[in-house]
Amino acid sequence: MNIVSTYTWCQFAPAFALVGLAALLILADALLPKLPKRAFAFIGAMGCFVASYFLYTGSQPNFLGCIAAVATGLSILLAFDYTKICCESIAGGSNEEGTGEFYALPLVACAGILSLTQARDLVMLFVSLEVITLSSYVLAGYFRRNQGSIEAGIKYLVLGAMSTGILVYGTAWYFGMVGTFNLGHEVVFTAIKGGVAASPTLAVGFLVATAMLFAGAFFKIGAAPMHVWIPDVYQGAPTPTTAFLAVASKTAGFIVLCALVLPFAPFCVPGSMIGKLLIWCFALVAGVTLIIGNMGAIRQTNIKRLLGYSSVAQAGFIMVFFLNVNSILVDLVGQYLLAYALATLAAFYAVAMVRTQRGSEEIAAFRGLGKSNPRTAFLITVCFASLAGVPLTMGFMVKMYSFVAAITAMGNWAGICWLLPVMVITAAMGFYYYFKVIRAMYWEKAEPGHKALQVPVCTGIVLTLCALALIYLGTMPLLVSMG
Amino acid sequence: MIPLAHYLILSGILFSIGLAGVLIRKNIIVVFMCLEMMLTAANVALVAFSRAQGTAGVPVYDAQVLSLFITGIAAAEVAIGLALIVAMFRARRTVESTALNSLKD
């Protein structure tokens, strides 16, 4: 089976539609310079929402793609209220020139994520992944008058290109060992036996190639030791881009990881050497990611950097699901990502609002919000409480699923029982640093000169919807199971 | 006829030089050249494997298709990278990676 006959055109219809919309926006940017750039943000976001609706109601619901599309739409919409900062950091002053692509590029990246969800072979996987990363490099370095943004762009590009190099070298060796780019059970099955010739050299080569592919996926999700780029890039990149990287790009990483792991499902049973190796690797990566993410987050004072380390920590909890490779893996990962996406996007809306009006991204800028904006402060509290995993929020439910997954995995592999205490301790650490923001809002006095925030319409709607969804999805399963 | 192993050794050497350069060198332009070398290593391996996996002298073209994609993506990456380097040089008057120190814990 060759690459072209694996796919049909209509699988990629949503991706094509988004690329078309992005092309139209870029043309409009060149031909209609008078059109305000806020319209671009609005059209782009609507395009993403429409695409996510069709993904959700389509004949084969694509849940992860749907989350990515909604997240992209919301991060474009975030730029809607952020236009003032965008203009200052791109062209200087209130000049809107050259800011159009900032709203069109996330659409291209989103198209990459949507085609990634359809990928059944490594060529499609690699090309879609590069569509996402190349647009993200531009977006991360887009604020060219801002030192932090340029630095974030260069750091992201160098480390990202290095991980691409490793991934693509792994792809070459994968092809060399099995003679095809397909990711299927039977391909993996024959390869681990050493191919038709049953040669151990081929089997080892195949495992090394797979390890390189996993390294590429770990980079995208920010699992240790490939997480080094996350704090710097999240802090330096423009806030809408950071929101995109934290949610949509991370979803893409998990799509890749699922696509790479699922062919190994028949081996992930007790008694298999390959399964033991794989599960131990995942357990180690998950444990180290949890420790590094949570330890790093504790001493942060910059909110974007804190959310960066938080995203590393949350990736650690999602990694735990990969200890049970079975058919519900994708659903569990999707659930966790949904809880993470709702809370994180809302948090970034709050960060953007505070940055626009108080000019700072430090946690100290949140001081006194509890008094001056009680309603907004409550919504932000719900989001951070959900990230920490307070009961009655969705964050608690999904964290519980993660613990259940760890306990189930321990039934099969007794050797990884050290992971459970690590999870308990790191989850407790999470309470400390997420509540730093909540404490700043309620228990600390506002800095002199900081007035009450004017909540923009978009930010207000998104914050309310996200907080409501987090509470609803966190309480509904309990009510259903009781009544 | 040159055996497959020679191509693979060449690609392994290219990949190692590239990876070592990315990790060691301080000048970002040199780092970019090393990144390109890593992608080239994959291209060499792919084209060699496409020959080796073929039957009766007909290579498996899938691998060569991927190597074309890699070349295209490498070009796009360099375009973005050089643009960022120009922006960095304008802002800091240097292209050393040691100057990238404004974001830290």
pLDDT tens digit sequence for A32-89: 888 888 899 999 999 999 999 999 988 788 899 999 999 999 999 998 888 888 888 8
Q: State residue A4's pLDDT score.
A: 67
Mean pLDDT of B90-100: 88
CA–CA min distance B96, chain A (Å)? 11
What is the CB neighbour count within 10 angstroms for residue A446?
20
Q: Which two tokens stand for residue A66?
A: 């749907």
- Chain A CB contacts of B79 under 8 Å are none
Q: What is the DSSP string of chain B?
A: ---HHHHHHHHHHHHHHHHHHHHH--BHHHHHHHHHHHHHHHHHHHHHHHHHH-BTTB--HHHHHHHHHHHHHHHHHHHHHHHHHHHHHHHHS--BGGG--SS--
Could you report the per-residue pLDDT of A407-446, keeping only the tens digit for each?
Answer: 999 988 888 999 999 999 999 999 999 999 999 999 988 8
If you measure CA to CA, which chain B residue comes closest to A228?
B104
Q: Give the nearest partner residue to A161 out of B49, B62, B77, using CB atoms.
A: B77
Compute CA distances A224 → A99, A163, A290, A393, B48, whole Å: 34, 13, 9, 27, 33
User: Average pLDDT in the A161-172 region?
Assistant: 95
| B58 in reach of chain A (CB within 8 A) | no
Identify whether the C-beta of residue A280 lies closer than 8 Å to the C-beta of residue A269.
no
Residue A3 has a pLDDT of: 63
Using alpha carbons only, give the angle A369, A370, A374 rounded to the nearest 5 degrees: 100
* Residue environment code for A73-108, b if the CB has 16+ CB neighbours within 10 A, otherwise e: bbbbbbbbbbbebbbebbeeeeebeebbbbbbbbbb
Asked if pLDDT for residue A324 goes beyond 70, the answer is yes
Interface test with B, best of A151, A212, A229 (most B CBs within 10 A): A151
> Chain A contacts of B49, Cβ < 8 Å?
172, 175-176
Task: Read off the DSSP letter of residue A99.
Answer: -
Contacts of B20 in chain A (CB under 8 A): none
Confidence of residue A228 (pLDDT cuts 50, 70, 90): very high
Q: Tens digits of per-residue pLDDT, A101-140?
A: 899 999 999 999 999 999 989 999 999 999 999 999 999 9
Other beta carbons within 10 angstroms of residue B65's beta carbon come to 17
Comparing CB atoms, the residue among A130, A152, A169 nearest residue B38 is A169
Angstrom distance (rounded) from CA A40 to CA A38: 5
pLDDT in tens, A37-48: 889 999 999 999
Please tell me which residue, B34 or A449, carries the higher pLDDT value: B34
A457 phi and psi angles, rounded to 5 deg: -60, -50
A150: tokens are 């340029």
Q: Does position A1 have pLDDT exceeding 70, yes or no?
A: no
Q: Specify the pLDDT at position A159.
A: 94
Q: Is B78 on the interface with A (CB under 8 A)?
A: no
pTM, entire model: 0.95
pLDDT in tens, A235-284: 999 999 999 999 999 999 999 999 999 999 888 888 788 889 999 999 99
Q: Quote the pLDDT of residue A50.
A: 95
Q: Is the pLDDT of residue B92 over 90?
A: no
pLDDT at A332 over 80: yes
- d(CA A2, nearest CA chain B) in Å: 7
Compare CB distances from A150 to B42, B62, B84 and report the shortest one's residue: B84
Question: How far is the C-alpha of A207 from the C-alpha of A267, rounded, in Å?
Answer: 13
Cβ of B103 within 8 Å of Cβ of A176? The answer is no
Six token digits for residue A191: 């390869």
Give the pLDDT confidence score for residue A130 in this predicted structure.
Answer: 95
Place B21 in a pLDDT band, splitting at 50, 70 and 90: very high
User: Which chain A residues are Cβ-neighbours of B45 within 8 angstroms?
Assistant: 169, 172-173, 176
